[in-house]
A and B are shown apart, each in its own frame.
Chain A
Amino acid sequence: MERLTPPPVRRIAVDRHPRVVAPTSPADGAGNGAGGVTSGAGGSQILARRRAARPAATYPPEERMQIESVSLAYGERWVVRDVSLPVRRGEVLALIGASGSGKTTLLRSLNRLTEITAGAGRAGQITLDGEEIHEIEVNALRRRVTMVFQQPNPFPMSIFENVAYALREAPGRRRRARRATLEPAVREALRRAGLHEEVADDLDRPALSLSGGQQQRLCIARALAADPEVLLLDEPCSALDPISTAVIEDLIVELRESVAIVIVTHNLQQAQRVADHVAFMHLGELIEYGTAEQVFDQPRQQRTRDYIGGAFG
Chain B
Amino acid sequence: MSAEAYPPAIPPAATPKAAPPNPMEARQRHAAQLATHLKEAARDRRVEFALGTLAAGALALIAAMLVTVLVNAWPSFSTNGLAWFGPGSGANGDPVVQFRAMQTGTALPGHPLLYFRAWPLIWGTLLSTFGAVAIALVVSTFAAIFLAEFAPAPVRRVLEPVVRLLAGVPSVIYGLVGLLLIAPWVDGLISTPRKESVQYVVQLNGSCLLTATLVLTVMIVPTMITLTYGALAAVPPAWREGSVALGVNRWRTIQRVSLRAARPAIVSAMVFSTARAVGEAIMLAMVGGGRPFAPNLLDGLTVFYEPIQPLAASIAKEFGGNPNTPIGHTASAIGAVLLFSVALLSLAAWAVRQPLKRYGIGI
Q: Do A and B come from one complex?
A: yes
Q: What is A's interface to B at a CB cutoff of 8 Å?
A: 1, 3-4, 111, 113, 116, 138-144, 146-147, 149, 151, 153, 155-158, 165-166, 169, 206-208, 219, 222-223, 226
Closest-CB distance, B246 to chain A (whole angstroms): 5
Q: Which residues of A contact B242 (CB under 8 A)?
A: 149, 153, 155, 219
Q: Which of B30, B238, B257 contacts A4 (CB 8 A)?
A: B30
Q: Which residues of A contact B244 (CB under 8 A)?
A: 113, 116, 142
Instruction: Report B227-274 residues with CB < 8 Å from chain A CB.
Output: 236, 238-239, 241-249, 252, 256-257, 260-261
B359 touches A158 (CB 8 A): yes
B361 touches A156 (CB 8 A): yes
B27 close to chain A: CB less than 8 A: yes
A156 touches B239 (CB 8 A): yes
The interface residues of chain B, by DSSP majority, are classed as helix
A-B contact pairs, 11 of them (CB 8 A): A1-B27, A4-B31, A111-B245, A139-B248, A141-B247, A146-B247, A156-B239, A156-B260, A207-B359, A219-B242, A222-B246
- Count A/B pairs, Cβ under 8 Å: 78
Q: Which residues of B contact A226 (CB under 8 A)?
A: 246-247
Closest-CB distance, B53 to chain A (whole angstroms): 35
Closest to B246 in A: A166
**Which 4 A-B residue pairs are closest in the complex by CB-CB distance?**
A142-B247, A143-B247, A153-B238, A208-B360
Closest to A165 in B: B246
Closest to A141 in B: B247
Closest-CB distance, B338 to chain A (whole angstroms): 36
A206 touches B359 (CB 8 A): yes
Q: What is B's interface to A at a CB cutoff of 8 Å?
A: 27-28, 30-31, 236, 238-239, 241-249, 252, 256-257, 260-261, 356, 358-361
A166 touches B248 (CB 8 A): yes
Closest-CB distance, A291 to chain B (whole angstroms): 29
B246 touches A169 (CB 8 A): yes
Q: Which residues of A contact B241 (CB under 8 A)?
A: 113, 116, 149, 153
Q: Which of A140, A142, A158, A169 contacts B245 (CB 8 A)?
A: A142
A149 touches B238 (CB 8 A): yes
Bound CA–CA A169/B244 (angstroms): 11
Q: Which residues of B contact A158 (CB under 8 A)?
A: 359
Closest to B362 in A: A156
Bound CA–CA A199/B243 (angstroms): 22
A166 touches B27 (CB 8 A): no
Closest to A153 in B: B238
Closest to B28 in A: A1
Given known A4-B30, A151-B238, A156-B361, contact A146–B245 (CB-CB < 8 A): yes
